[in-house]
Amino acid sequence: MTGSDFLRLDPRDAPSRGRTAWLTARIRAAVADATLGAGTRVPPSRELAEELSFSRGVVVEAYRRLTEEGLLVTNRGAGTRIAAAVGGGGGGGGPPIGAPAPGWPGGFPPPPPASTPSR
C-alpha cells in the first residue's frame, strides 16, 4: 500500500490553492470516521508529498496542524501516528477533541491565577 492509498487520496480532487487545508480535512475526516484508528502510522511527509505531487511543505504543514489539534503524535525516528485518544470508537478513553473535560465545573478547568506584578 502506498502512502496515499491509506486514505484513498486522489490529488486531482485537491484544489489548486488550499491544498494544506484539503489534506488536513481529509486526514481529520478519516480519523473521525475511524478509517484511521488510534496508533495508525501515517506516511512520511516526503513519501506522501511525492505520491500526491505536492510540495513537501504542504504535507509538513498539514501534519503540524493536526499535531497541534492533538490528532497526530510525532516521535522522531518512530514516525507520525494517529493519537491514542482519538478515533471512532477505538477505546481511546478520553473525551472527543474539543469536548469539555469531565470533573471540572462547567466542563473546563479554571483559568490560571493572575500573577501579581512585583514592585
- Does 58 reside within a domain? yes
- Does 75 reside within a domain? yes
Q: Are 83 and 73 in contact (CB under 8 A)?
A: yes
- Does 36 reside within a domain? yes
Q: Are 76 and 44 in contact (CB under 8 A)?
A: no
Q: Which three cell numbers stand for residue 46?
A: 516526503
pLDDT digits (tens, 9 = 90+) for 89-112: 444 444 444 444 444 444 455 555
Residue 44: closest CA among 95, 10, 78: 78
Domain count, the chain: 1
Which residues constitute the domain of residue 59?
A: 5-87
Point out the least confidently predicted range of 45-54, 75-84, 101-110: 101-110
- Does 46 reside within a domain? yes
pLDDT digits (tens, 9 = 90+) for 20-38: 999 999 999 999 988 889 9
- Does 118 reside within a domain? no
- Does 82 reside within a domain? yes
- Does 93 reside within a domain? no
Residue 119 to residue 117: CA distance in whole angstroms: 6
- Does 35 reside within a domain? yes
**What's 73's domain CATH number?**
1.10.10.10
User: How many angstroms separate the Cα of 40 from the Cα of each of 50, 58, 61, 74?
Assistant: 20, 21, 19, 12
